[in-house]
Amino acid sequence: MPIKYILGKNSSPKDRSEINLLSSPIRFKLFVHFVLIISLALFIGCEKKANEKTDAQPQTTEETTQTTPEQQPVQETIPPVVIPDLSGKWSGTFDARSATLNVTEQSGNDFSGSIYIAYRNPLNKQVTGKVDENTLVVTMSDMGQGRFHGTYSATLSDENIGTILWKKLTGTFTMKLDGKKYSFNFSKK
């Protein structure tokens, strides 16, 4: 279909006749070149906008990751794990008898000391042990050998009695000889 152009009112009647713009080969070539130049210009312009959008996206991402202090998510700060201090004199009971645990040395999780149990023939044994700062489980074992040699397993806890904070050590002793278990409870200020 030929493209036609109608001249305005002030043109002569001869000029008002319809002129076919694509009728000559030169006009056709000019038209094709014009369309190609316009298409190329539009394509390059769109390409630049697309590049500008992709260049702008990382900046947007950076801006969204940068937040003001009011917008930052609340992060739970986990306090550092503290190794409980077991050193000192612990008083309590062992197999329903009066007993004392005296921790004389502690280096990190490892400790040593003695345990005294007021049986008819009192026992005084040297012990070594470890405390797990995450679970608050205390394990000990007797240093010497003998009939009453065994292992201790206890849980460390805190208890407020009045205005005083007491540390409590509650667990069981297992004899190596026959596997009998005896309960014990110690506390210290």
pLDDT score, position 54: 56
Which residues of the chain have a pLDDT value below 70? 1-24, 46-74, 161, 164
pLDDT at 16: 47
Please tell me the predicted confidence (pLDDT) of residue 70: 62
At 42-71, the pLDDT tens digits run 777 766 555 555 555 555 444 445 555 566
Q: What is the pLDDT of residues 91-105, one digit of tens each?
A: 999 999 999 999 999
Assess contact for 157 and 136: CB atoms under 8 A: yes
Amino acid 38: pLDDT: 82
- Cα gap 7→1, rounded to integer Å: 19
Q: Please measure the distance between the N-terminal and C-terminal CA atoms of the chain and give it in whole angstroms.
A: 105
pLDDT at 183: 97
For residue 57, the model assigns a pLDDT of 53
User: How far is the CA of 166 from the CAs of 47, 70, 161, 162, in angstroms?
Assistant: 75, 41, 7, 10
CB within 8 Å of 147: residues ≥ 6 apart? 177
Residue corresponding to tokens 């506390």 = 187
CB of 148 closer than 8 Å to CB of 97: no
The model's pTM is: 0.56
